[in-house]
Structure 1
Amino acid sequence: MKKVNFRQGMTFKEIGEQMQSYVTAYWKKTLDDHQEAFLKAFPEMEDATYGLYLDKLLPPVFESLEQSGFITIQDPRKGDFFIGKGLNFRHSMEKWGAENCRSRVFWAVIGDQQQKPIGTLLFDFFHSHAGFDVPLAPQIYTLEETERDRIVAAVKQIKET
């Protein structure tokens, strides 16, 4: 698997570009490599099966970020559900698209070595509610905003324009 090349001194935009490059290279391969297991799990687990998929796809990204001195600022609460080693389900919205191509946007605030927020990564994940399918490659966006209300407003602006 391709290593994600994060390093200190990268701009936040470069971090997003590296993440998009990795996701573009591996979203379909990850889906194909584990398709049988996902299809088998879907009747019982339904949408939670997409968490299994993201648990296969995303850990190398968040591990590389951490190894490069960046952190995800999570403010975890009791009952939070984490996916792919860096996405908190509570930090997501889903309300766009048809049943066979829904869009759920996750966000992760990223901090530097001093744990100072440097920006927010948006992870736009397309999936089906009609059966297990990831019809499109996830899209990565970067935001300067790091406050929840501003992140939510930016997500709505991106998805609704």
Structure 2
Amino acid sequence: MTQPVFDSVVRKLRTVMSVSWKSVLEERREELAGLFAQYGDRAYGVWIQQFMAPVFEQLTAEGYIVKGGFNRNDSVENWGPPEERERCVWYVVKDGEGAPIGTMVLQVYHSHRAFHVPRAPRLFALEETERERIVAALSDASVRVRWDLPTERQPLPDDFRFAPGEAGWEYATDVSIGDCLRGEDDDGQTHSWSLDDALSHWGRYGWQLVSVVPAGGRIVAFFKRPLPAA
């Protein structure tokens, strides 16, 4: 099976999951919150097993082989603040003869402060089927982060909100800021007008430069600004 074909299989499964994750969350929220109070993050594992069940049933009905449920060892969680941690759980999918054809990845966002799902989970496909290569692929943010897809967020719990007078921050990066650092001209002078213009462009919209870091042969600029009032 080619990667585009496997991608299409996973895209169909997204439709199934788009209904199941929310219905299980709404129907069993109180129970899951109670589990979280007793056992912490295990509550999310229970939720995952329940809303992924229809996905695995669909795969099986189409003749594929996949080990369902939730296995913490087949997942990685390295990203985000405690209020919105990102965990990627993977499932190697095999054809009817047991040959691996690709890996289905479940991307789940969750809170460590309380049972809360900040945004909708997402399914995507990977070509890699061996653990080391799966982990390496997921370590590349461009594999997990899709700027071109809409993000469905859930309302914040009241105790997650900032108190009056407090301010949160939002952050952004510019990976092309180094393009504004020109070398010496023919007259031996270094000019910074393009950098001034770029920084002023960010500042015009309330962004403050926090830091610059060299990475991968480029210079990455980090900006922050206060979150708008709710």
1:113 aligns to what? 96
What per-residue deviation string (whole Å, max 9, x for no partner) do you get for residues 34-77 of structure 1?
111111221111100111111220111112211221012x5xxx
1:123 aligns to what? 106
Paired residue type of 2:17: V
Deviation of 1:28 after TM superposition, in Å, equals 2.0
Any gaps of 5 or more consecutive residues in structure 2? Answer: 147-230
Identity %: 35
1:50 aligns with 2:44: yes
Q: How has the CA–CA distance of structure 1 residues 160 and 60 changed in structure 2, closer, same or farther, with 3 Å as cutoff?
A: closer
Tell me which of 84, 87, 100 is aligned to 2:83. Answer: 100
What per-residue deviation string (whole Å, max 9, x for no partner) do you get for residues 5-39 of structure 1?
xxxxx921122102222222232222111111111
1:147 aligns with 2:130: yes
1:20 aligns with 2:14: yes
Aligned pairs, how many? 141
User: What's the C-alpha RMSD, in Å, of the aligned pairs?
Assistant: 1.9
Deviation of 1:86 after TM superposition, in Å, equals 3.7
Tell me the secondary structure at the aligned position of residue 125 of structure 2.
strand
Determine if contact 2:24/2:51 at 8 Å carries over to the other structure.
yes
Determine if contact 2:104/2:124 at 8 Å carries over to the other structure.
yes
Within 2, Cα distance between the matches of 1:67 and 1:87?
Answer: 20
Determine if contact 1:86/1:108 at 8 Å carries over to the other structure.
no
Determine if contact 2:49/2:70 at 8 Å carries over to the other structure.
no
Q: How has the CA–CA distance of structure 1 residues 136 and 49 changed in structure 2, closer, same or farther, with 3 Å as cutoff?
A: same
Q: Which has the larger radius of gyration?
A: 2
Within 1, Cα distance between the matches of 2:65 and 2:83?
Answer: 34
Paired residue type of 2:133: R
Q: Tell which deviates more after alignment, 112-121 or 18-27.
A: 18-27
Within 1, Cα distance between the matches of 2:69 and 2:101?
Answer: 16
Within 2, Cα distance between the matches of 1:47 and 1:22?
Answer: 24
Q: Give the TM-score taking structure 2 as reference length.
A: 0.57
Q: Give the TM-score taking structure 1 as reference length.
A: 0.80
Query: Relative contact order: is structure 1 or structure 2 higher (C-alpha 8 Å, sep ≥ 6)?
Result: 1
Q: How has the CA–CA distance of structure 1 residues 20 and 160 changed in structure 2, closer, same or farther, with 3 Å as cutoff?
A: closer
Tell me the secondary structure at the aligned position of residue 139 of structure 2.
helix
Q: How has the CA–CA distance of structure 1 residues 141 and 91 changed in structure 2, closer, same or farther, with 3 Å as cutoff?
A: same
Within 2, Cα distance between the matches of 1:21 and 1:134?
Answer: 19
Determine if contact 1:101/1:128 at 8 Å carries over to the other structure.
yes
Any gaps of 5 or more consecutive residues in structure 1? Answer: 1-9, 75-84
Within 2, Cα distance between the matches of 1:58 and 1:28?
Answer: 11
Determine if contact 1:94/1:103 at 8 Å carries over to the other structure.
yes
